[in-house]
Amino acid sequence: MSKNKVGDSVSTLDNKKLNRRNFIKRSAAIGVGTAAFGTASTGPTQAQGTQAQAIAWDYEADVVVLGAGATGLPAAIRARDLGASVIVVEQNFDIGGTMIHSNGNVSLGAGDAIQLRDLAGKNDPEGLITIAPVEPPEAMRDDPDLLFRDQTDWTVVNTGARAAYRYNNREVLRAWADNVAPVRQFLLDNYVKFTRISGTHNEGGLSRARRATAMFKLGPVTDVRAGTVTQEDAGRDADGKVLGHASRLSPVVMDDQRARGGRGVLGRGAAIARPLELSAKEKGVQFMLNRHMDEIIRESQLSGRVLGIRASYTPRRDPKTGEQFVSYGEFTGGEWAKGLIKDERLTVTIRARKAVIVGTGGHNGNPQFRAMFHPGGLEPSLTAKAWAWLGGPGRAADASGIIAGMNVGAGLDGMEQGYHNQSSRRIITVLGAMDAANLELPGAAHFPYRRAGGVNVGAAGFQHLIAVNQVGKRFFNEMRVTQQLGSSQYPQTGAIKKWNEYVQGDWRNCRPDAIKAVYDDNFAIDAALAINEGSQPPHFLPGPIWAIFDQAAVDRAKWNVNPPYTGDNGLFFKADTIEELAAAIRAGNEHQKVALTYLKETVARWNSFVAKGADPDFERGPDAPMHAIATPPYYAARIIIEWHDSCGGLRINGKAQVLDMKGQVIPGLYAGGEASGAHLMHGLGKACTHGYIAASNAVNERA
């Protein structure tokens, strides 16, 4: 079989079809998720130890990028800008990764172009922003040294006395701080538009404001080059009203960002992912979608250069109709369809003449991997961010890039940082859905898989319900169950002085009396993941948790519990009695392995507390009103425990080169974002910069 070299304008191969039997067999092998350590091979493979010339490579390019998200897209564009040919391999049916599912917040800094624009009081060149800067000038005077010191300051802690920056890899952070300002300009040069600087994203540093949100402005046409979007593509109008649908352009309804940009300004991950996608296609990057990277191929398993990858065909389909999901580019056609390689063979091999860049995301969707950091991580009902968008178990944040790197000798770094990150594990306020994006609505290509947007009740809405575990018992004070730690970035909601009083590296920032004064870690996650009467050996899984409420709560809080916010997804139930509700949950949810034996008793006990005005079990009352659950019909909605950020991954150096267990570079292998470790920071700024750094160095590898 002949090789197809990127740059030869080859967009298709034999286009060989899979027969259904072979595809199902392969799907079973790669989609294990909860039963195996991960979807990547966990031992020596046939290819390992084979020289490059002995492998029948199906494709080749200078640089092979794994993942089309916040690391992969910047890496691909940067490599093309520097003259390399690029293939991007993405397991999902569309481009964007978790980035397109995000809020679009990008914290960079070090005197980047948006800080300087707002510092000078200027508007954006396109005239999309109609408000003045929102941060004081002194909060935007920044430089790389200040940023580096911020992100390596051992003294900064959050309200759980956990250190946000203490364990960051100093070499990696130095390189990151030196590159963030060029990355902001790089994003601007590739059609991304930004709101005003407003605050700083989690773990983005305490001393300055550094966050700007990727934005579109409502207009008569969607034109990502110009930064405009129609309300049909945005899912929201200029007054901020949600229109009841998402779109193929933006699978999550876009957010009203008038406070950061003026009326009609909207933000969301699509406002960075789609511009980068279009720019990459214009520049000749080729994309192989529906391809899960199963193996990184090295000359020998633990020595020599990385040669390329092996990837399997992983299309996604409508669970009811069987119709295959297609990307925005394929659906839209024209310039958006450029560079899409269509190949339906079961497995392909792709040679990387210079380097492979791993941007596959983290490990937070892999139960076996995350259980190394918390025993409750084995619970299969836990989800990761963008769970529905990425395809759920065996696909979303499955640790495949990390495991594939380990299989060729890579070391790990920063694995303890998940404990320090306030966003690693959280209980969110969206009920009855697969993940946190309650405004993922019909119109999004994958909505037939998700089936319900979810009901966002807000933290205050938990006053109208009780939260129970898999046997139907309450486990925590509902008014504190969604509480997250105060964080450690500008303008400061953590445990030390505010940004304009804070002294970098001062031991007084974390002295015991200062921490005790603000300490507020309530361990709700640990209570939710605790052993209960339904936990069975050998793993003693905690099972899912449920919100229980009645019609009076729906009426009182004005919740919309109708489709598309709820649906036939096994996560939302309605019944005339509590006994029938418990039976419906047991029968209808795949992760509910035991009967909710105590639910009727728990509701009765709760109602008695309401009558007395006190909650001796979990001390509710002073924090919010207590309401009886006594008006049928009764409802149950799954409460989502989300392992949001993945902390810890492949060990890299300042060039984003992957290192082995001896600290030596693995030639031809790079990584960034949540596939890499020892850089604790939430949001897109970390991953975009890692991808930029990786590509800048990867193109200099010998072919």
d(C-alpha 347, C-alpha 27), whole Å: 12
Phi, psi for residue 355 in degrees, rounded to 5: -165, 155
Q: Which of 12-21, 235-244, 305-314, 578-587 has the lowest mean pLDDT?
A: 12-21
What single-letter DSSP state applies at residue 315? -
Q: What is the mean pLDDT of residues 420-426?
A: 77
d(C-alpha 145, C-alpha 340), whole Å: 41
Count of structural domains, the chain: 3
Does 352 lie in the same domain as 224? no
At 323, list the tokens.
């119709």
User: Above 80 in pLDDT, residue 14?
Assistant: no
Residue 21 banded pLDDT, cuts 50, 70, 90: very low
Does 284 lie in the same domain as 190? no
Q: Determine, yes or no, domain membership for 572.
A: yes
pLDDT at residue number 661: 97
Does 477 lie in the same domain as 392? no
CATH of the domain at 568: 3.90.700.10
| End residue of a domain, out of 269, 289, 308 | 269
Kindly give, in sequence order, each residue whose CB lies less than 8 Å from that of residue 271, ignoring residues fewer than 6 positions away: 104, 192, 193, 213, 214, 215, 216, 227, 229, 250, 254
CA proximity to 336, closest of 275, 419, 409: 275
Q: What is the largest CA-CA distance in the chain?
A: 79
Residue 538, preceding peptide bond in cis (omega within 30° of 0): yes
Contact call for residues 488 and 206 (beta carbons, < 8 A): yes
Question: Quick one: residue 300, left, alpha or beta (phi over 0 = left, psi -120 to 50 = alpha)?
Answer: beta
Q: What is the mean pLDDT of residues 596-621?
A: 96
d(C-alpha 676, C-alpha 71), whole Å: 10
Contact call for residues 676 and 655 (beta carbons, < 8 A): no
Residue 295 bridge partners (DSSP): 310
Contact call for residues 216 and 271 (beta carbons, < 8 A): yes
Convert the pLDDT of each residue in 59-81 to its tens digit.
Answer: 999 999 999 999 999 999 999 99
Q: Determine, yes or no, domain membership for 431.
A: yes
Does 256 lie in the same domain as 350? no
pLDDT at residue number 380: 96
Q: Determine, yes or no, domain membership for 252.
A: yes
Does 530 lie in the same domain as 417? no
User: How much is the mean pLDDT over the chain?
Assistant: 91
Q: Determine, yes or no, domain membership for 163.
A: no
Q: Determine, yes or no, domain membership for 499.
A: no
Does 655 lie in the same domain as 575? no
| End residue of a domain, out of 269, 297, 312 | 269
What is the helix (H) or strand (E) element at residue 637, kind and residue range?
A: strand 634-643
d(C-alpha 386, C-alpha 372), whole Å: 22
> pLDDT higher for 493 or 476?
476
Q: Determine, yes or no, domain membership for 161.
A: no
Does 689 lie in the same domain as 628? no
Q: Which of 421-425, 471-475, 518-522, 535-539 has the lowest mean pLDDT?
A: 421-425
pLDDT at residue number 3: 56
Cα–chain-centroid distance for residue 149?
26
Look up the pTM and report it: 0.93
The residue segments making up the domain with residue 22 are 4-100+277-421+645-698
pLDDT at residue number 402: 98
Phi, psi for residue 128 in degrees, rounded to 5: -80, -35
Contact call for residues 80 and 300 (beta carbons, < 8 A): no
Residue 4 banded pLDDT, cuts 50, 70, 90: low
What single-letter DSSP state applies at residue 436? S
Distance set, CA 8 to CA 4, 102, 285, 286, 354 (Å): 8, 35, 12, 11, 18
Q: Determine, yes or no, domain membership for 154.
A: no
User: Above 80 in pLDDT, residue 38?
Assistant: no
Does 400 lie in the same domain as 332? yes
Does 321 lie in the same domain as 258? no
Distance set, CA 254 to CA 85, 220, 289, 663, 677 (Å): 33, 16, 24, 43, 30
CATH of the domain at 417: 3.50.50.60
3-state secondary structure (DSSP) of residue 302: coil
What single-letter DSSP state applies at residue 495? S
Kindly give, in sequence order, each residue whose CB lies less than 8 Å from that of residue 569, ignoring residues fewer than 6 positions away: 432, 433, 434, 450, 451, 452
d(C-alpha 634, C-alpha 549), whole Å: 6
Distance set, CA 697 to CA 79, 180, 339 (Å): 9, 16, 24
The residue type of 90 is: E
Residue 162 banded pLDDT, cuts 50, 70, 90: confident
Kindly give, in sequence order, each residue whose CB lies less than 8 Å from that of residue 538, ignoring residues fewer than 6 positions away: none
Does 401 lie in the same domain as 371? yes
Convert the pLDDT of each residue in 82-97 to its tens digit.
Answer: 999 999 999 999 999 9
pLDDT at residue number 549: 98
User: Above 70 in pLDDT, residue 420?
Assistant: yes
Q: What is the mean pLDDT of residues 472-490?
A: 90
Does 317 lie in the same domain as 261? no
User: Three-state SS string across 542-583, please?
Assistant: CCCEEEEEEHHHHHHHCCCCCCCCCCCCCCEEEECCHHHHHH
User: Above 80 in pLDDT, residue 39?
Assistant: no
Contact call for residues 568 and 632 (beta carbons, < 8 A): no
Residue 157 banded pLDDT, cuts 50, 70, 90: confident
CA proximity to 77, closest of 181, 196, 192, 219: 192
Burial 535-570 (b: 16+ CB within 10 A, else e): beeeeebbbbbbbbbbbebbebbebebeebbbbebb
Q: What is the mean pLDDT of residues 342-358?
A: 98
d(C-alpha 257, C-alpha 623), whole Å: 31
3-state secondary structure (DSSP) of residue 42: coil
Q: Determine, yes or no, domain membership for 81.
A: yes
Convert the pLDDT of each residue in 435-471 to its tens digit.
Answer: 887 799 999 999 999 999 999 999 999 999 999 999 9
pLDDT at residue number 294: 97
Listed in sequence order, the DSSP H helices in 440-598 are 447-450, 512-518, 524-528, 551-557, 578-588
pLDDT at residue number 20: 34
What single-letter DSSP state applies at residue 274? H
Q: At what angle do helices 72-81 and 170-189 cross, to 10 degrees?
A: 70
User: Above 70 in pLDDT, residue 596?
Assistant: yes
Convert the pLDDT of each residue in 562-587 to its tens digit.
Answer: 999 999 999 999 999 999 999 999 99
Does 470 lie in the same domain as 326? no
| End residue of a domain, out of 211, 235, 269 | 269
pLDDT at residue number 52: 57
